[in-house]
Structure 1
Amino acid sequence: MRYFEDVAVGDTASFGHYRVDRDEAIDFARRYDPQPFHLSDEAAAQTHFGRLSASGWHTCAMTMAMVVEGIKERQEASLGSPGIDELRWLKPVYPGDTLTCHTEVIDTRASASRPEMGFIKTRITVSNQDAQPVLRFIATSMLATRPVE
């Protein structure tokens, strides 16, 4: 298990490979972000996107799927997250793209009121198959401290 004490500023990781599926992108947009350029090739062709693009919120959801899988693979003692900062959609994401996460720990802080946890700030950058960053944000996560034996 990877605990709060095992994490250091400067730690990096790359993980995940999420292929953006056209039907999934349209279904997500239909339900949560029904803007024409997320729903129709014809409408998207008339915009700066030039073709159907995934919703930024869908990109966030795909990123979360990769992050959770990464937590499982690294066996992190995750206790969730109080939120994110500085969310930026940097480039459009298109059906057929393959996304990958890159992380860098930028701060760690033991909880002053909850000795069983610490806070980790991580810069998360999501790139497409051409290594172009498409999404970036700062995530704060809570990790359990190593149990006292």
Structure 2
Amino acid sequence: MPNTFLRRASHLREMSTQTRGKYYEELDVGDVYEHRPGRTVTEFDNTLWSLLSVNLQPLHLDAHYSAGTEFGQRLVNSMLTLSTVVGLQVHDLTLGTTVANLGFEEIAFPHPVFIGDTLYAETEVLDKRLSDSRDDSGIVTFEHRGHTQEGELVCECTRIALMLLQPEDE
């Protein structure tokens, strides 16, 4: 019986596939990717993020204070919004294929995010070129856009990433 189990386990390992993002060659300028599922931001998420980042802004943490502002409620920390929007693309595009983020540019938050909003993201490939200093990588410029469940644009940013070239054996 143990031998049968070992044969089955070995067979399952051979059949499994590794999830990964896209290599440099698989990304084309102008392509737009929608990332699903979305992520609903909870009170816990917002409080934990704000406390871990030592952002004690009462707009994020104090319901009584926030009720008296123009928003009438707490705002989700914008850095949590940005991180979530960028994070939503990882599984589709950059899981295991990014060497490093080289920079973020033109970050905008055109509409607030509130506790209970669900964030959805899309990514457009804006530009790409081979690296001048590394023969195994290329530089890709992405634009990430985050929307709420109501389609309201809440975050937009440009990110430049160093992406791996596809290995010769794949």
The TM-score, its normalising length taken from structure 2, stands at 0.79
Q: Secondary structure at the match of 1:138?
A: strand
Letter in 2 for 1:20: V
The whole-number CA distance in structure 1 between the counterparts of 2:52 and 2:134 is 38
Matched, 1:6 2:31: no
Q: Secondary structure at the match of 1:14?
A: strand
Moved over 4 A (4+): none
Kept in 2, the 8 Å contact 1:121–1:138? The answer is yes
Kept in 1, the 8 Å contact 2:119–2:149? The answer is yes
Superposed CA deviations along residues 83-131 of structure 1, whole A, max 9, x for unmatched, are 1101111111111100011111110111112111001101110000011
Superposed CA deviations along residues 2-27 of structure 1, whole A, max 9, x for unmatched, are 32111111011011411100122122
Kept in 2, the 8 Å contact 1:79–1:144? The answer is yes
The whole-number CA distance in structure 2 between the counterparts of 1:49 and 1:28 is 20
Alignment partner of 1:104 out of 116, 120, 124: 124
Identity value in percent: 24
Matched, 1:121 2:137: no
Alignment partner of 1:88 out of 100, 105, 108: 108
Q: Secondary structure at the match of 2:132?
A: coil
Matched, 1:60 2:82: yes
The whole-number CA distance in structure 2 between the counterparts of 1:64 and 1:12 is 14
The whole-number CA distance in structure 2 between the counterparts of 1:144 and 1:23 is 35
Letter in 1 for 2:106: E
Kept in 2, the 8 Å contact 1:76–1:143? The answer is no
Letter in 1 for 2:151: A
Letter in 2 for 1:44: S
Letter in 2 for 1:105: V
Letter in 1 for 2:66: A
RMSD of the alignment, in Å? 1.7
Kept in 1, the 8 Å contact 2:85–2:144? The answer is no
Corresponding residue of 1:142: 162
Who wins on radius of gyration, i.e. which is larger?
A: 2
Long gaps (5+) in structure 1: none
The whole-number CA distance in structure 2 between the counterparts of 1:19 and 1:54 is 11
Corresponding residue of 1:21: 42
Kept in 1, the 8 Å contact 2:85–2:145? The answer is no
Long gaps (5+) in structure 2: 1-19
The whole-number CA distance in structure 1 between the counterparts of 2:64 and 2:70 is 12
Give, in angstroms, the shift of residue 51 of structure 1: 0.5
Corresponding residue of 2:16: none
Number of aligned residue pairs: give it. Answer: 147
Over 3 Å counting, the alpha-carbon distance change for 1:104 and 1:65 in structure 2 is: closer
